[in-house]
Amino acid sequence: MTVGVLALQGAFIEHETMLQGLGVATLQVRLPEQLAQVERLIIPGGESTTIGKLLVRFDLLGPIQQRAAEGMPIWGTCAGMILLAKEIAEGRVEGQPALGLMDITARRNAFGRQVDSFETNLQVPALGEVPFHAVFIRAPQIDKVGEAVETLASLDDGRIVAARQAKLLATAFHPELTGDARFHELFLGL
């Protein structure tokens, strides 16, 4: 199995390093030919407006939607989560392209600006009892989930920050930046 990491912009190297540590083959995806060679895809954190524009420019938007429709597992972290969402609350930039695959409403920059970035220990029942150390960098949150979506983690104040819908996984934070591979393992198991 080869896991693709969308490598247009953002934190893709860190995802690759994590996957390689798990003994998984990876491929940086920038072209439709590369997408065709992978069985799973991670959309990393970065800047969702930039990644969205590059998805269009590199002819990847339609092909990724097509692969998702065929059941390919996709995981979006942070900006990647925004791109996966069917709806983007407020912070959507006029004409911003997005994949619109997952039945969630994502709110960009929900915790404020870059300086308001933070780390916290999250309870994630799907990963067992040990809390997951989560790094939030100018992170989005999930305002709303559809019926088919399972919430995987919320902050103490109730804001949803991780969710799953069939083969789609979304995390508002960056699991590739800590040594804890449990979210990567969860994704590989979808």
Would you state the structure tokens that stand for residue 79, as one six-digit string?
A: 């900006």
Stretch that binds ligand GLN, among 27-35, 63-71, 74-82, 160-168 (CB under 6 A): 74-82
Q: Is 78 in the site for ligand GLN (CB under 6 A)?
A: yes
Task: Provide, rounded to whole angstroms, the least separation between the CB of residue 109 and ligand GLN.
Answer: 5
Q: Respond yes or no: is residue 94 known to be catalytic.
A: no
Q: Whole-number minimum distance, CB 74 to ligand GLN, in Å?
A: 16
Q: Which of 40, 107, 138, 164 touches ligand GLN (CB under 6 A)?
A: 138
**Residue 175 found at the interface with ligand GLN (CB under 6 A):** no
Catalytic hit among 15, 78, 87, 94: 78
Comparing CA positions, the residue from 153, 147, 188 lying closest to residue 165 is: 147
161 near ligand GLN, judged by CB under 6 A:
no
Is 176 part of the annotated catalytic residue set? yes
Q: Residues in the site for ligand GLN, rule: CB under 6 A?
A: 45-48, 78-79, 82, 108-109, 137-138
